[in-house]
Structure 1
Amino acid sequence: MDKWEMYMEIQQLIKKCFSKSKVAEKLGVSRSTVYRHLRRSPSEIAEWVESLQTRTEKLDPYKELILNWLGEHSDLSAAQVQDWLLEKYKDMKIGESIVRAYVRMLREEYHIAK
């Protein structure tokens, strides 16, 4: 469920008189997430969702390189991708979770099985 769908679902459940705790439980999110979505107006949510869609990823400049590596070695782990990036770009500072999420996204987008 994307952020806009989450916002809409929260709004609908609140209109159906579910408590905020029950909404959080039904959607599998924290109560603070429910409260955060309720504080935002629909226009704020729309702007926020649009900014998420146009935002570039930290690893986008290395996308083709990573895709080549995954194409050649489909069993390559995100940790190995990170190691190879750090070998090639000594000054790069990148967290493991960022690489893991980026590799997962590329695998889904380009249907690269592990």
Structure 2
Amino acid sequence: MEKLITYNEIHRLRKEGFSNSAIAKKLKISRNRVIEYGKMTPDEFYLFAISLQSRGKKLDPFREKILEWLKEHPDLSGAQVFDWLEEKLEFSSVSEGTVRNYVNELRESYHIPKVISEREFSAVPELPMGQQIQVDFGQTKVPKLDGTYIRLYFIGFILAHSRYKYVEWLDRPFRANDLIRMHENAFHYFEGMSKNTSV
């Protein structure tokens, strides 16, 4: 019933001229969910809703644990939940996309909107050589030869004094073991460790 209300609200707001992002914000659901429901006809949505009721999901045994994580950390992303399932519960039988969809459904069902953490920026004081490495993360979309795009994720290490840089890239979100390996690679590249590391 709740999904039906959401489906009807999405189509009502679309007719009133609201964008997918605006609808997602109003209904406190993901933009992907708005797009997914927005493409369905009433008959398609009915079959979809029936299929959800009649099938179990691989992540159902971890439902309570995932809910616990989301309630404690409202800014948790689907990618982070995917990592925690692998690292904390040693479960890796589903794709990251499946986890992301499951997380979005739990957020919608239990009214747990994703909290966007605002980053605070401040000037870093000039430090002597060897005192500090700054670490930052980012992502970008780059074109492929077939005209489609791929999202790439990167981590950058910068020596605070000399601004000497080291960067690594991945075609998926970082996991904890990636970050450990990349830190070790950066220290090897710089031929040593600084006294401090700031993120």
**Bin of the TM-score, shorter chain as denominator length:** 0.5 to 0.7
CA distance in 1, matches of 2:91, 2:103: 20
Would you say how many aligned residue pairs link Structure 1 and Structure 2?
77
Q: Which has the larger Rg?
A: 2
Instruction: Give the match for residue 106 of structure 1.
Output: 106
Amino acid at match of 2:95: G
For the structure 1 residues 67 and 52, does the alpha-carbon distance in structure 2 shift closer, same or farther, using more than 3 Å as the test? closer
Instruction: Give the match for residue 54 of structure 2.
Output: 54
* SS of residue matched to 2:75: coil
* Offset of residue 54 of structure 1: 1.7
CA distance in 2, matches of 1:91, 1:110: 23
Aligned pairs for 1:1-114 within 5 A: 28=39, 50-114=50-114
TM-score (norm 2): 0.33
Contiguous gaps of at least 5 residues in structure 2: 5-37, 115-199
Structure scoring higher RCO (CA < 8 A, sep ≥ 6) equals: 1
Q: Which has the higher strand share?
A: 2
For the structure 1 residues 113 and 55, does the alpha-carbon distance in structure 2 shift closer, same or farther, using more than 3 Å as the test? same
CA distance in 2, matches of 1:49, 1:72: 29
TM-score (norm 1): 0.55
Q: Which has the higher helix share?
A: 1
CA distance in 1, matches of 2:63, 2:52: 18
For the structure 1 residues 91 and 106, does the alpha-carbon distance in structure 2 shift closer, same or farther, using more than 3 Å as the test? closer
* Offset of residue 49 of structure 1: 6.2
CA distance in 2, matches of 1:66, 1:91: 12
CA distance in 1, matches of 2:93, 2:58: 10
Deviations 1:67-110 (A, max 9, x none): 00000000000000000000023352220110010000000000
CA distance in 1, matches of 2:84, 2:112: 19
* SS of residue matched to 2:66: helix
CA distance in 2, matches of 1:112, 1:28: 24
Decide whether the 8 Å contact of 2:85 with 2:91 is kept in 1: no
CA distance in 2, matches of 1:49, 1:78: 22
